Amino acid sequence: MSEPRKRRSRLSPSAVGHVGGGEMTSDFGRLDTAAVLEQVQEQMRQIARVQRERVQLTASATVRKRVTVTVNADGMIIETKFAPGIEDLSFGEIAKAVTAAAQQATAEVARKGQELMAPLQERRSRLPKLSDLLEDMPDLDALRPEAPPVPTTPPHAEVEEPEGAPMEFDDVDTTFRTRADDRGVTDSGW
């Protein structure tokens, strides 16, 4: 019976400082897996801690000194308060104030969430990437598409397009021609 073949791949130079360097085999014979595993487990403990802290986050914003909106960690409105004198505002002004307060509170809770995540991101940046460990593995972070920005306007609001944006028309009627209607400059009627 023959001994199973070990697949070998070279560690990139950036991974050498992180995990001990040298060659890595499919059975991790020369790689200090205990150290890598401990780092991963510590990262998971930190993620769980941050998740517990994040769900407790809230933020409030007040607009026009009469409208206060509080949002949770997901940016969902959990409380809206109107101060005395709210009746001096029109319905439109109240609606705009609620929207502005909700957007401000959501931005603040997002900032708090990023602040909470910063140590995790820093720690993650110190861990070797899979592409550092396996020679032919692509950098998965580089392959991740960037999410487009989420609009902060109502669905049917008129939005100014940025300078240089391609023109798009959504009210165009498409007509189809039949062969008999397909006449051009070579038609005998010319």
Greatest CA separation for the chain: 90
Distances (CA, A) of 18 to 28, 30, 49, 128, 183: 15, 14, 24, 6, 72
d(CA 58, CA 70): 7
d(CA 7, CA 48): 35
d(CA 96, CA 67): 10
Per-residue pLDDT tens over the stretch 144-170: 888 888 888 888 887 666 677 676 766
| Cα 149 to the center of its chain, rounded Å | 9
Please state the pTM of the whole predicted model. Answer: 0.59
Give the pLDDT score at 30.
Answer: 47
Q: How many residues in total does the chain contain?
A: 190
Q: Please answer whether residues 124 and 42 qualify as being in contact, where contact means their C-beta atoms are separated by less than 8 angstroms.
A: no
In DSSP terms, 62 is beta-bridged to: 68
| Cα 24 to the center of its chain, rounded Å | 33
Per-residue pLDDT tens over the stretch 27-67: 444 457 788 788 888 889 999 999 999 999 999 999 999 99
d(CA 133, CA 129): 7
| Nearest alpha-carbon partner for 62 in 26, 46, 86 | 86
